[in-house]
Structure 1
Amino acid sequence: MVENIISFSLRNRFIVLLFAAGIFTWGLFSVKTSKIDAIPDLSENQVIVFTEWMGRSPQIIEDQITYPLVTNLQGLPKVKYVRANSMFGMSFIYIIFEDNVDVYWARSRVLERLNSIGNALPAGVNPTMGPDGTGVGHVLWYTLDAKSMDLGEQRAVQDWYIKFALQNVPGVSEIASFGGFQKQYQISIDPDKLSYYKLNIQDVMRAVKSNNNEAGGRKFEMSGIGYIIKTTGYLKSIEEIGNLSVRTQGSIPVRIRDIGTVQMAGESRLGIFDYNGEGEAVGGIVVLRYGENANEVINKVKAKMMEVTKGLPEGMKFNIVYDRGKLIEESISSIKTTLIEEMIVVSLIVMIFLLHWRSAISIIIQIPITIAASFIVLNAFDISSNIMSLTGIALAIGVIVDNGIIMAENSYKNLAVRQAELNEQRKGGSADVV
């Protein structure tokens, strides 16, 4: 079969050259469309389920949340195993699927099972799925540089403006905020006053909840004009919360300010984010969606940051503290330099040792065609161009030229032997004539 292929190629050189040109063109297109990343994604095919129940001990979280969820999620199809972790106020469950399972099919199966759990969990506890990212999805970290603003204001800008803007970038799975204080209204109750008025905490919570709501009415017409009735009841200030009536005793309302104080403060924190020892900082983490091109997404996020900067408060700007894009550029540049150097060295060695320019060209031309064709295979198997894959291509250059050198040397040797035989025949024929 190999002899037939060689014979066909020798008889149809134009077709072979045209086929090689087509492969090379396809390979160049694959190089431009190939996903670029610095490191390969070797993480497991998993779906994370996160459940929050603040104020509970790890043992209660394990018994009432983690155990019911694990027992219900173990029966999913194509699941290898289920891992779980319980901590103070939080539960994490990792459902590991088989490698050939589509991640979004897996997420839909997990979501179906979560919806069918029903009353297995405590009231008010709602498990949620984590972002559709991978273990190496943190592609960019940034902080906000605003010396004139406090941490609460910076976190508010991050949560209510920057986060929503960057999440619209294609390929971004999540913008995870960190640092600062999450603003909230806090009511500090005096237990002595609460006992004096014969109230309890549930009464206060009920008063706040019932007065922080809106209700819609209906439309009616009067004098040919339509009116829509509604009530506006959302709380907007500390004073409004303090004036809420908890109970009326003897025609005198007992307000929240009579039994405690209301203040604007930050949510309780378990840690802080310190930047270079200069103090606390507020920022976010850009999480890459599964299967996206990391380099392309990073560039789009940076472009979006330039737009978002125009709407930031005066004196605030972005400070990128981790950028995988630079690592990608350095890695790709290093590999490209190595490939070019290897191609030049191999070409010189082939030219020097063969001393036959046609044979050398036939060997050298294999290198760019084979490298371009390798990117076709990378794209077919959805493998990104990273340090591992490109290094493998660089190491394979020696193997690429070996075949050509062996074939050229063998052909050159056979031609030399054939030429010697022809010379002998010519000498013998001349002797007979003489």
Structure 2
Amino acid sequence: MVHKIIEWSLRNRWIVLLLATGLFVWGIFAVKQNPIDAIPDLSENQVIVYTEWMGRSPQLIEDQVTYPLVTNLQGLPKIKYVRGSSMFGMSFIYVIFEDDVDVYWARERVLERLSTIGNTLPEGATPQLGPDGTGVGHVLWYTLDAPEMDLGEQRAIQDWYVKFALQNVPGVSEIASFGGFEKEYQIAVDPNKLLYYRLSIPEVIAAVRGNNNESGGRKFERSDIGYIIKTSGYLKSLDEISNIPIKNQNGTAIKVSDVATVQMSGETRLGIFDQDGEGERVGGIVVMRYGENAAAVIDRVKVKMKEVSKGLPAGVKFDIVYDRGELIQESVDSITTTLIEEMIVVSLVVIVFLFHWRSAVSIIIQIPITIATSFILLNAFDISSNIMSLTGIALAIGVIVDNGIVMSENAYKHLAERYESWQAAQQKSKML
């Protein structure tokens, strides 16, 4: 069979050259389409379910949130196992699916099950799905360089302007904010004053909630003009909160300011983000969507950052603290340089040992064609161009040319022997 293939290839050299050229062109196109990353994504095919129930202990979270979710999420189709983790005020469930399961199909199955078990959880505990990213999806970290602005204002810019703008970039799953203070209105209740006025904390909460809403009425017409009736009741300042009446005692309204102190502050933090020992910073983490091209996503985010920078306050700019794009470029450049060096060395070795340019060219031309064709298979098996895959190609160059060298040397040897026998026959015939 092999002899017939070789014989057919020798008799149809132009067809073989056309096929090789077609594979090379297809391989070049595959190289441009292949996702590029620095490291291979070996994370498990998982869906994360997180639940916030602030102020509760880990044991209470475990008993009333984590355990019910874990037991109910088991039994999903094509599932391997379910992991649960409980901490102060937070519950995390990791649903691990089979490797060949589509991640979005898995998320749909988890959402279907969550819709049936939400009523069994405590009030205020609502499970949500995590971003559709992977364990290596953190492709870019940035901070806001704003030396003249306090941390609360920086966090407000990050949460209400920068985050929403960058989340619209194709391929971005989430922008996770970190650092600074999340502004909030705080009502610090004095327990002694509550006892004095015979009030309770639920009464204070109910009064604040009842005075922080809007309601609408119907439309009425007057002089052929329609007017829409509504009430504007959202709280807009500290004074408005302080003047909310809680209860009427003996004809006197007990206000929030009588039993509590109202202030603007930041939410309680569990840590800080310090950059280079120069103080706290506010920023965000760009989480790449599952299966996206890391290099392309990073480039699109950087372009979007230039647009967003035009709307930032004076003196505020982006400072990129981690950029996987640089690691990707360095990795690709390093492997590319290695490939070129190996191709040159192999070519020189082939030319020196065979000392026959046609044989050397037939062997050397296999290297770019085989490398380009290998990217067709990488795309077919959904493998990105990373350190591992490119290093495998670099190590395989010797194997690529090994067969060609052996075959060419063997053919050259047999042809030389036939030529010598032919010359001997010619000389013998002349002597006769």
Q: Scaled by the length of structure 1, what TM-score is found?
A: 0.98
2:127 alignment counterpart: 127
Q: For 1:272-291, what aligned pairs fall within 5 Å after superposition?
A: 272-291=272-291
The alpha carbon displacement at 1:2 in A equals: 1.1
Task: Write the distance in 1 (CA, Å) between the matches of 2:426 and 2:191.
Answer: 121
171-180 vs 413-422, which deviates more? 413-422
Distance 2:163 2:201 in 1: 35
Aligned to 1:193: 193
- Could you tell me the percent identity over the aligned residues? 73
Query: 1:37-81: per-residue Cα shift (whole Å, max 9, x none)?
Result: 100001111111101111111111110000000000111111111
Unaligned 5+ segments in structure 1 are: none
- Equivalenced residues, count: 432
**Which letter maps to 2:152?**
G
Q: Secondary structure in 1 aligned to 2:349?
A: helix
1:317 aligned partner: 317
Give the match for residue 208 of structure 1.
208
Q: Shift of the alpha carbon at 1:424?
A: 2.8
What amino acid is aligned across from residue 23 of structure 2 in structure 1? I
Counterpart Cα distance in 2 of 1:317 and 1:420: 78
Q: In 2, distance between residues paired with 1:14 and 1:216?
A: 81
Report the alpha carbon displacement of residue 377 of structure 1 after superposing the two structures with TM.
0.7
Give the deviation of 1:423 after TM superposition. Answer: 2.0
Amino acid in the other structure paired with 1:197: Y
Structure 1 CA distance for aligned equivalents of residues 413 and 7 of structure 2: 18
Taking the aligned partners of 1:232 and 1:2, their CA distance within structure 2 comes to 86
Tell me, in whole angstroms, the C-alpha distance in 1 between the residues paired with 2:216 and 2:389. 61
Which residue in 2 is equivalent to 1:30?
30
The answer (yes or no) to whether the contact 2:58–2:86 under 8 Å persists in 1 is yes
Offset of 1:417 from its aligned partner? 1.9
Task: Please tell me whether residue 93 in structure 1 is matched to residue 93 in structure 2.
Answer: yes
SS of 1:297's equivalent? helix
The answer for the alignment partner of 1:83 in structure 2 is 83
Aligned residue type for 2:219: K
Find the aligned partners of 1:333 and 1:33 in 2 and give their Cα distance. Answer: 18
AA aligned to 1:89 is G
Q: Distance in 1 between matches of 2:243 and 2:314?
A: 35
Q: In the alignment, what sits opposite 1:142?
A: 142
For residues 216 and 384 of structure 1, what CA distance do their matches in structure 2 show? Answer: 55
**Where do 5+ consecutive residues of structure 2 fail to align?**
none
Cα deviation, 1:159-200, whole Å, max 9, x if unaligned, reads: 000000000000000000000000000001111221122111
Deviation per CA, 1:384-410: give whole Å up to 9, x if none: 111110010000000001010011011
Deviations 1:228-277 (A, max 9, x none): 11111111110111111111223321111111111000001111111111
The 1-side partners of 2:357 and 2:69 are apart by 70
CA distance in 1, matches of 2:73, 2:334: 45
Aligned to 1:108: 108
Residues 118 and 127 in structure 2, CA contact (< 8 A), matched pair in contact too: no
Counterpart of 2:293, as a letter, is N
Deviation at 1:375, TM superposition (A): 0.7
**Structure 2 residue 295 is the aligned partner of structure 1 residue 292:** no
How far did residue 421 of structure 1 move? 2.4
Q: Secondary structure at the match of 1:253?
A: strand
Contact 2:241 2:256 in 1 (8 A): yes
**Secondary structure at 2:126 match in 1:** coil
Q: What is the match of residue 387 of structure 2?
A: 387
Distance 1:323 1:2 in 2: 51
Q: In structure 1, what is the equivalent of residue 409 of structure 2?
A: 409
State the match for 2:431 in structure 1: 431
Q: CA deviation at 1:105?
A: 0.6
Alignment RMSD:
0.9
Once the two structures are TM-superposed, the CA of residue 217 in structure 1 deviates from its matched residue by 1.3
Aligned to 1:351: 351
Question: Deviation at 1:431?
Answer: 3.3
TM-score w.r.t. the length of structure 2 is 0.99
Q: Which residue of 1 aligns with 2:70?
A: 70
The aligned residue for residue 305 of structure 2 is: 305
In the TM superposition, residue 216 of structure 1 has moved relative to its aligned partner by 1.5
- Partner Cα separation in structure 2 for residue 128 and residue 402 of structure 1: 55
Aligned partner of residue 143 in structure 1, secondary structure: strand
Structure 2 counterpart SS, 1:271 = coil
- How many Å apart are 1:429 and its aligned residue? 2.5
In the alignment, the residues of structure 1 paired with residue 129 and residue 281 of structure 2 have an alpha-carbon distance, to the nearest angstrom, of 28
Structure 1 stretch 1-10 or stretch 348-357: which is displaced more?
1-10
Higher mean Cα deviation, 187-196 or 325-334? 187-196
SS of the aligned residue for 2:137 comes to strand
